[in-house]
Amino acid sequence: MNNPETSVIIRKQIAIRNYLCSTEQEEVSEIIDGLTAQQKYIPSKFFYDEYGSNLFEAITCLPEYYPTRTEKALLKEIAPQISKTLGNIDIVELGSGDCSKISILLDAIPVENMATVRYIPVDVSHAAISNSARILVERFPDITVHGLLADFLKHLSVIPKETKRLFCFFGSTLGNLTRKQSVQFLLDLKAVMKPGDQLLIGLDMVKNIRVLEKAYNDDQGVTAAFNKNILSSVNQYVKTAFNPDWFEHVAFYNQSKNRIEMHLRALKNIELSCMYLPDNIRIKKGETIHTENSHKYTHWHILDFASITGLKINAVYTDNNQWFSLVHLIA
């Protein structure tokens, strides 16, 4: 098991363990691999520095970005049912972001059970974890928060195992993984689940292309700013001098792959140096850096994930438009 590089007890109820310090060299390699690939790419986890996390929160409030409000409405509907099982339990939220979704679930737990609930947010964003922890202990004074600053693709083994667990993976963040990564991730997650552990996963469904494309091309340009901001993380990790103004935001639905793709398209020929590379990085005018996939799902995919992992589907909840699904699985 990995040992946390730093462990901070903020107050009696909050502890945050950092498993990312020791992986900084891996992060540099991941970025360099992407910038030297034939189709250049940047892994989407690098969106979420402090400013990027704030921009994502702003995206979730946009009129065009239907996933967050649709998933929250669903969660509100089903919370009373799910929360019946929530006593003496660790609630582990993967890619937790802000605490607005988990709060909906916690709100439905009887106050007398709260002291037996531990919330374990897992995220690569320190700001996301520490801000959520502070907000949650104010709002739910009896809860304990055990934050893990960790990569859910690498560090599932550091999640505490003593108690029964509900894993939550909201927002359709699974969709940001490639097909291969998502299958491997679900298998890895199943491997750390014990019989009776639960998984509540949010999946954005295939729908009208115009609705999908508008959600990633909002009128205020917040998604464009979010996309371009990934370059500041890159500059920080690999000490480059990318200027976001050299690129334009591009987002479109790739129908054959059931996914929105986000790219940064170069507005001019670019050449810049990087201390980790012997040669300069060259990007031709019109060439793109692929920054995100956001896969959309059908009912078939839900059945497929269950059959690949052997997790049992307890229920699939969806809205009237069938735009978003919350899938409740049991190990």
Q: Interface residues with ligand SAH (CB under 6 A)?
A: 45, 48, 53, 56, 60, 68, 95-97, 101, 122-125, 128, 151-153, 170-171, 173
Q: Which one of ligand AVI, ligand SAH, none interacts with residue 185, CB within 5 to 8 A by kind?
A: none
Q: Please name the residue ranges forming H helices in 112-169.
A: 126-139
The least distance separating ligand SAH from the CB of residue 153, rounded to whole angstroms, comes to 5
Q: Using CB under 6 A, which of 176, 229, 240, 325 touches ligand AVI?
A: 176
Quote the CA–CA distance of 295 and 180 in Å, as a whole number: 12
Quote the CA–CA distance of 36 and 82 in Å, as a whole number: 46
Which of the ranges 13-21, 133-141, 171-179, 188-196 carries the binding residues for ligand AVI, by CB under 6 A? 171-179
Candidates 235, 248, 232, 254; CA nearest to 289 is: 248
List strand residue ranges (DSSP E) for 124-189, in order: 144-149, 164-169
| 139 vs 257 by CB, closer to ligand AVI | 257
Cα-based distances in Å from 216 to 81, 199, 256 = 33, 27, 18
| 230 vs 266 by CB, closer to ligand SAH | 230
Which of the ranges 70-78, 168-176, 191-199, 323-331 carries the binding residues for ligand AVI, by CB under 6 A? 168-176
**Residues of span 46-105 touching ligand AVI by CB under 6 A:** 59, 67
Check if the beta carbon of residue 246 is closer than 8 Å to that of residue 228: no
Which of the ranges 5-13, 118-126, 169-177, 315-323 carries the binding residues for ligand AVI, by CB under 6 A? 169-177
- State whether the Cα torsion 38-39-42-43 is positive or negative: negative
Is residue 331 within the footprint of ligand AVI (CB under 6 A)? no
Is residue 172 within the footprint of ligand AVI (CB under 6 A)? yes
Could you say which DSSP state residue 194 is in?
A: P
Residue nearest to ligand SAH as judged by C-beta position: 171
Is residue 173 within the footprint of ligand AVI (CB under 6 A)? yes
Candidates 73, 107, 81, 96; CA nearest to 314 is: 81
The least distance separating ligand AVI from the CB of residue 175, rounded to whole angstroms, comes to 6
